[in-house]
Amino acid sequence: MTDFPTEKKIILFDGVCNLCNNAVQTVIKYDTKNQYVFTSLQSETGKQILQHLKIDTEKVDSIILYIPSIAYYIKSSAAIKIMNSFSGAWKLTHALWIFPTSFRDFIYDFIAKNRYKWFGKKKECMLPTPNLKSKFLP
């Protein structure tokens, strides 16, 4: 497996999805503790992590939060876990844990299924600006 920072949490995202790219920009903005790095599901690193975790992209084709040597989270659990790590009003997202995973993932899957139709799709993965390059894995 490719070397990647084990001291960082890795967010795998759909690199061609406009909604996902906006979510990455939001995480970058609120990640004041500099705890996250990113890689697209389509990247070599992303594919290697998916293979390592034995995640089938036919079943999970959107956000994954991977905490090396500890755990990984998918779908709504990944999104909530990430939002919970921010300060301020983001702390209110802790309340989302009261809903059963099946309910949260039903809503998540509905949005994920329609994300290209509602938010659009890029032809290729976004390229980070030079000052954000260190936040992205190859």
Residues whose CB falls within 8 Å of the CB of residue 62, separated by 6 or more in sequence, listed in order = 13, 14, 17, 20, 75, 108, 112, 115
Is residue 99 situated within a structural domain?
yes
Range of the domain at 27: 9-135
Is residue 1 situated within a structural domain?
no
**Span 85-131, pLDDT tens digits:** 999 999 999 999 999 999 999 999 999 888 888 888 766 555 666 66
Q: How many domains does the chain have?
A: 1
**Span 51-94, pLDDT tens digits:** 989 988 777 777 999 999 889 999 999 999 999 999 999 999 99
